A = this chain, B = another copy of it.
Amino acid sequence: MKEIFEKVEPKEIEARSFEIITEELGDTLLIPGTEPIVKRCIHTSADFDYAANLCFSDGVVEKALEAIKQGACIVTDTQMVKAGINKRELEKYGGEVYCFISDEDVAMTAKEHASTRAAASMEKAMQLDRPLIFAIGNAPTALIKLYELMEERKYYPKLVIGVPVGFVNVVQSKELIMKSENPYIVAKGRKGGSNIAACICNALLYMIDR
């Protein structure tokens, strides 16, 4: 049975995977400095569409790494994104991960304002007195709320990772974020998800050490 498997030590599997991805990308053009992020998204999904659909604002990678080094915290829209982020790595720089979607006060605010819990959880997060990176893998309404806060000059996140997945208002919410002049990493189109949001955070974290 064993002979059907490629012999790779557990700790070497990730490196071997990235080799295969690099090989199969061939001469696909990637924006210099974004390669580790694009490749990790492909690693997480086995979907090479991410080579084409990831969009980066100017200089976003440097700004994001700097923010993390300065102790930025990460706010997620779902517990699943939170579960996927390498919290031990983030803690090295003083950051923490927050997700307010299941909080009772968030549910109440959403109901009062006829809004969504995802949108209300963004407003709760901006009260935190710390620099924040937002990692949105699910809710277009969270992205719309962040855009509104920026437009109204009420709040500017250090970075918006806008990668909700889906079929209703997802594409438009991402286009909106790409209109802002704030740093963003967005997966254009319908694709994305909790796994992609978490893996972009991890890709950034691993770039600091490497």
Binds B, one of A28-36, A44-52, A61-69, A122-130: A44-52
Tell me, yes or no, whether A191 is within 8 Å of chain B by CB: yes
| Cross-chain contact A198 with B80 (CB below 8 angstroms) | yes
Given contacts A141-B10, A169-B8, A172-B4, contact A195 B46 (CB under 8 A): no
Chain B residues contacting A82 (CB-CB under 8 Å) are 83
In the complex, residue of chain B having the shortest beta-carbon distance to the beta carbon of A4: B172
Pair A194/B84 contact, Cβ less than 8 Å: yes
Identify A17's interface contact among B10, B168, B175, CB under 8 A. Answer: B168
A contacts with B, residue count (CB < 8 A) = 43
Within 8 A of B (CB), among A83-121: 83-84, 116
B193 touches A44 (CB 8 A): yes
Task: Report A's interface with B, CB cutoff 8 A.
Answer: 1, 4-6, 8, 10, 13, 16-17, 20-21, 43-47, 78-80, 82-84, 116, 141, 144, 165-170, 172-173, 175-176, 189-195, 198
CB pair A80–B167 under 8 Å, yes or no, is: no
A47 shortest CB reach to chain B, Å: 6
Closest 5 CB pairs of A and B: A46-B190, A83-B83, A17-B167, A20-B167, A80-B83
